[in-house]
Copies of this chain bind each other. A is one copy, B any other.
Amino acid sequence: MPDTFVPASRKTLAACYLRTRARTERLCAPLESEDYQIQSAAECSPPKWHLAHTSWFFETFVLMAHAPHYSPFHPLYGFLFNSYYDAVGDRWPRQARGLLSRPTVADVYSYRRAVDERVLALIDSADEKTLSATAHLIDLGLNHEEQHQELLLTDLKHAFGHNPLRPRYAPPNEGTLPDGSPGAWEHWSSGIREFGHDGAGFAFDNEGPRHRAVVSAFVIASRLVTNNEYRQFVDDGGYTRPEFWLSDGWAARRLGGWSAPLYWHRDGSGWLEFTLRGMRPLAPDVPVCHVSYYEADAFARWAGARLPTEYEWENAAGLRAVDGNFLDSELLHPAGGPAYYGDAWVWTASPYVAYPGYRPVTGALGEYNGKFMCNQMVLRGGSCATPAGHIRRTYRNFFPPDARWQFSGLRLAKDAPV
C-alpha cells in the first residue's frame, strides 16, 4: 500500500486494502487450526488474535466512526480485540489472549469478511468528504496491519521455537548462503542535519516533525554483525563477563538464563539455529538476530565499538534505495548482503522519545505511539519479516531493551578517529 497509495482514487484504495488484508491471511495458510490459539509468552499474541485485532481496528476507527448505521459485528469483540486503546474502553488482559478458544478461527474469518465487505462498500459509496476523512484512517489501518504481519510471524516463531517438536512454518530453503564479507567502516563527517519525516506520503506520527540535530563525526559498519562474529563473543565468555554489560542487562541475562541469542541451541556437533524453516546449523556469515538491546550493546563494547544513534543510522542511510531482504523475499530469515535495509532490525543507542515539537493526534488514535515513549529503544531498517512497502528511512520501530523475539540484530558504529 504505502508505495502506491493515491487517496484520490477509490479503486486504488480498495485494491490496496484488499492486497494487504489478503497478505495477512496468506501468511496464515501454513497454519494448522491449533496454531492459531497459541500465546507462548505474554508479549506474544495468538495468530487468531492478530487476525481479529486488525479487523477490530478498521471496525472501530473506520466503520464505527464513518459508516452509516454501522453496528458492531459482535457486542463483545470490542472488549476482546482492543489492544491498548484506553479511550475506547476496557479490554481483555493481554497475557490471557491465548486462553480464548472462542470465537473460533472460522468465527474470526467471518469477522474479517464482514469488516472487509463494509469497508469496501464505504470506499465505494462514501461521499467525497467522508472518503477524504476515511482514506487516511484506512491507510493507517493498513500500515497497522502490516506491523501485525511481522508480529504474527515473530509470535508464531516463538511458539514453534518453544515447542519440543520444533515445527516448521515453511520448508527448508535450498538457497546458497553468502560468503563472509569482511565489511568496512564508512566515515561520516560532523554536521547539523535534518532528521525525521518531511510529510510526503504516509508516516507514523512518531517520525516527525522534521528537525535539525547535531551529529558528531562517526564511522559505521557497512554490514550487520554476523553469526560468526557473535559466536566469537559467546566463545570469549561474553555472557559471563559483567564488564561488557549494562547493569540492567546483566540482571536480565541472569533472570532469563541467557547464554546465547534466542533460538541458538548447542548439540554435540556445534551450534544450531531454529528458523521459520526449521532447525539448521548456524550459518556463519548471515546477520545475527534475536538478540536483545542488552546483548547488542554488550557485543559492541566487547568489539571495541558501540551502537549507532538513530540519527547516525538515518544519516548513513542517506539517499540509498530502500532495498533489502524483506518479507516479500519469502526467505523468512536474514541472508546477508550489501543492502542497508532489511534482514534484521538494527538496535540503536537511542531511547524512544518524542522528536522536538511532536504532538500525538487527538482522540483514541493518539494512543498509537506517544504513550510508549518510555523504557524502549529505537530500532531501524526493517527485517526479513517486514513487508517491503512498509519501511522508510525515517521509520522508528521500538521495543523494550530485553526483547529478543523480534528479528533484531546490530550494526556497529564508533566515534570518528580524531
Q: Evaluate whether A371 and B245 lie within 8 angstroms (CB atoms) in the complex, with A34-B37, A214-B192, A216-B357 already known.
A: yes
Answer whether residue A405 sits at the interface, using C-beta atoms and an 8 A cutoff. no
Q: Which residues of B contact A162 (CB under 8 A)?
A: 99
Answer whether residue A246 sits at the interface, using C-beta atoms and an 8 A cutoff. yes
Contact across chains for B102 and A34 when beta carbons are under 8 A apart: yes
Q: Evaluate whether A211 and B211 lie within 8 angstroms (CB atoms) in the complex, with A163-B101, A247-B371, A375-B248 already known.
A: no
CB distance from A273 to the nearest CB of B (A): 20
Answer whether residue A126 sits at the interface, using C-beta atoms and an 8 A cutoff. no
CB distance from A295 to the nearest CB of B (A): 13
Contact across chains for A38 and B375 when beta carbons are under 8 A apart: no
Q: Which residues of B contact A211 (CB under 8 A)?
A: 214, 216
Interchain CB contact (< 8 A) of A38 among B86, B101, B249, B356: B101
Chain B residue nearest to A76 (CB atoms) is B164
CB distance from A102 to the nearest CB of B (A): 5
* Size of the chain A interface, CB-CB below 8 angstroms: 63
Q: Evaluate whether A34 and B163 lie within 8 angstroms (CB atoms) in the complex, with A247-B84, A248-B374, A351-B351 already known.
A: no
Majority DSSP secondary structure for residues of A touching B = mixed
Q: Which residues of B contact A40 (CB under 8 A)?
A: 99
Contact across chains for A163 and B99 when beta carbons are under 8 A apart: yes
Interchain CB contact (< 8 A) of A101 among B37, B86, B100, B354: B37
Q: Evaluate whether A214 and B212 lie within 8 angstroms (CB atoms) in the complex, with A163-B102, A165-B76, A371-B247 already known.
A: yes
Q: Which residues of B contact A351 (CB under 8 A)?
A: 351, 353
1/0 contact string of A142-173 vs chain B (CB within 8 Å): 00000000000000000110111101000000
CB distance from A120 to the nearest CB of B (A): 27
Q: Which residues of B contact A243 (CB under 8 A)?
A: 86-87
* A86, B375: Cα distance in complex, Å: 24
1/0 contact string of A220-262 vs chain B (CB within 8 Å): 0000000000000000000000110111111000000000000
* Number of this chain's copies in the complex: 4
Mark out the residues of chain A between 72 and 87 whose CB falls within 8 Å of any chain B CB in the assembled complex: 76, 79-80, 84, 86-87
Contact across chains for A80 and B247 when beta carbons are under 8 A apart: no
Q: Which residues of B contact A409 (CB under 8 A)?
A: none
* A315, B51: Cα distance in complex, Å: 49
Contact across chains for B216 and A159 when beta carbons are under 8 A apart: no
CB distance from A91 to the nearest CB of B (A): 11
Contact across chains for A374 and B246 when beta carbons are under 8 A apart: yes
* A35, B356: Cα distance in complex, Å: 47
Q: Which residues of B contact A99 (CB under 8 A)?
A: 38-40, 98, 159, 162-163
Contact across chains for B216 and A213 when beta carbons are under 8 A apart: no
Contact across chains for B374 and A79 when beta carbons are under 8 A apart: no
5 A-B interface contacts by CB (under 8 A): A33-B33, A79-B164, A246-B372, A248-B375, A249-B374
- Given A40-B99, A246-B374, output 15 extra A-B contacts at Cβ < 8 Å: A32-B102, A34-B34, A34-B36, A34-B48, A35-B102, A37-B37, A38-B100, A76-B164, A80-B164, A101-B159, A101-B163, A103-B165, A213-B213, A250-B371, A350-B353
Interface residues of A (CB under 8 A from B): 32-40, 48, 76, 79-80, 84, 86-87, 92, 98-105, 159-160, 162-165, 167, 192, 211-214, 216, 242-243, 245-250, 293-294, 297, 349-351, 353-354, 356-357, 371-375, 401, 415
